[in-house]
Chain A
Amino acid sequence: MNVLDMALQVIIWAVEIVAVVLPLALAVAYTTYAERRIIGWMQVRQGCNRVGPWGLFQPLADGLKMFMKETIIPAKSNKFLFVAAPVLSLMPAFLAYAVVPFGETSLFGFWDKLHVMAIADLNVGILYVMAISSLAIYGILMAGWASNSKYALIGAIRATSQMISYEIAMGFSIVCVLILAGSLSLTDIVHAQAGGILHWYFIPLFPMFIVYFISGAAETNRSPFDLPEGEAELVAGFFVEYSGMWFAVFALAEYAAMILIALMTSILFMGGWNPPFEFLSFIPGTVWLLMKTSFFIFVFIWFRATFPRYRYDQLMRLGWKVFLPLAMGWVAVIGIFTYTPVLSDLIGFWQPWR
């Protein structure tokens, strides 16, 4: 590999990264807009409709407002970690998108075979997503500790125990998917679900689908599990001392993580970029994936408009006493089905590796 090839490769990578990060940043901005409009609609009020047509420029106005505000750093805080914490929480949220496959393309017939649209098509993709998204906790932990405020510290402690608890149930529900797909690669998991809606994993793994999605809501501190920022008792939780742009960075990280969970749910349980019926395959795969993702983002917003916040002990009970035994039990069920003579024919329908 000579220098020219290397330079070309670097340019291709840079273009790929920009092609993922820019739409993601836009998607995050417009998810906040969608959230306000949808919750407004559900609560029979208008939502933001003043800036631009139907309020479409609201996210830009919000961004500008945040940018113009003064960033206040508390005098008794740990300055370095206080400034580093928002970056630490944003970085993993964006980093996880490196392995997400957005579909397959031959670039309008330019390539002979289909290429996966991912920055890095890692063969341990799902573990990578798990590992990187579990790093998001450090940003929150640092923010809570460095602020030197009681509210922030309690918020950070809540966030930590909540994320650790729900990560386990999430991991076990992913194990079920892995047993069916026979691979850790996200591309292979999507390929294993090819052939219509009956092959999608939400059918044999319906309880795990629910567990994964709800754990995802808890993992990203979305309501009804938004205890770390519970404004009723903790003012704003771990980012109580943050203002202006640094506050916006936390919001950005939270929404990016939420979109990631929606994407992963569509990839793991809803067939990724596969269309539900064969006659609908004229619609490109990426559009299907983004449609499914948008639906799950809508469900997250729907949750927020519908459910009251959990109490802390209820949250812990749900994670440890309901989801964890359920997920472990389902791993056993899937395992027994896979290796029992008659039952294995039944589940073999979803296991292309046989």
Chain B
Amino acid sequence: MIEIGFFYLFAGMAVFAALGVILSANTMYSAMWLILCFFNASGLFFLLDAEFLGIVLILIYVGAVMVLFMFVVMMLEVNQAQKREGWLNYLPVGGMIALILFVELVAASTSGIFSTGEMAMASHLGAEVNNTVEIGKILYTEYLLGFEIAAIILLVALVGAIVLTLRERKDAKYQDISKQVKVRKEDRLRKVSM
């Protein structure tokens, strides 16, 4: 009973927030709505007893990814009038993507895979089943190869980002901290007899 109530609360708020993301004119507001959407999605995870995934969603998406989003959005100077210019040019491509996604969603949700009753009615396991432990067990045994491949892809992306943005500036006066620490009194002080 309560569970269904909370499901509709979280799901409804998630949809509402998602609408807010695309409908608000201010990009800062859009980002805020997206954060609300992530929170509600993590609430849905909690309802499914997947508290690890729920917390990780908040930790990574809200705590890190969205902060960087906002960081960028904050720096942008968005010209409202300019943004509205030429939206007709984008309409065919955008409309086509929207249509394809809509058809896919409707097809998937009416195909019957998600309404066999098994998925919707899955009962809660006891408190002794810890889904963090279960995810760990399956991730580091059965899916170890996939996990490692994902890790390497992320590492390559990381190195790539650093290589793209790193530039050595010759004119900047960098300080070498270890050199500063190593300095002894004798290097800097000179006794002068008066």
A residues near B, CB below 8 A?
78, 81, 122-124, 127-128, 130-132, 134-135, 137-138, 141, 144-145, 153, 156-157, 160-161, 164, 167, 184, 313-314, 317
A313 CA / B175 CA spacing, docked (Å)? 10
Please tell me if B35 contacts chain A, counting CB pairs below 8 Å. yes
Q: Which residue of A lies closest to B130 (CB)?
A: A123
Please tell me if B64 contacts chain A, counting CB pairs below 8 Å. yes
Question: What B residues does A313 contact at CB under 8 A?
Answer: 175
Q: 3 closest Cβ contacts across the A-B interface? A: A134-B63, A131-B59, A131-B58
Q: Is the CB of B52 within 8 A of A124?
A: yes
Task: Report which residue of A81, A124, A128, A317 has the largest number of chain B beta carbons within 10 angstroms of its beta carbon.
Answer: A124
Q: Is the CB of A164 within 8 A of B28?
A: no
- Given A153-B74, A317-B177, A127 and B67 contact (CB-CB distance below 8 Å): no
Question: What B residues does A134 contact at CB under 8 A?
Answer: 59, 62-64, 67
In chain B, residues 104-156, which have Cβ atoms closer than 8 Å to a Cβ of chain A? 130, 132
Q: Is the CB of B28 within 8 A of A128?
A: no
* Residue count of chain B within 8 Å CB distance of chain A: 20
Interface class of chain B by DSSP: helix
Q: Is the CB of B58 within 8 A of A184?
A: no
Task: Report the number of A-B residue pairs with Cβ-Cβ less than 8 Å.
Answer: 61
A157 CA / B72 CA spacing, docked (Å)? 10
Find A123's partner among B59, B62, B132, B177 (CB 8 Å cutoff): B132
In chain B, residues 54-80, which have Cβ atoms closer than 8 Å to a Cβ of chain A? 55-56, 58-59, 62-64, 67-68, 70-71, 74
- Given A123-B51, A131-B58, A131-B59, A157 and B35 contact (CB-CB distance below 8 Å): no
A161 CA / B46 CA spacing, docked (Å)? 30
Find B70's partner among A78, A122, A141, A167 (CB 8 Å cutoff): A141
Q: Is the CB of B35 within 8 A of A138?
A: yes
A157 CA / B73 CA spacing, docked (Å)? 12
Question: What A residues does B70 contact at CB under 8 A?
Answer: 138, 141, 160
A184 CA / B130 CA spacing, docked (Å)? 10
Question: What B residues does A128 contact at CB under 8 A?
Answer: 55
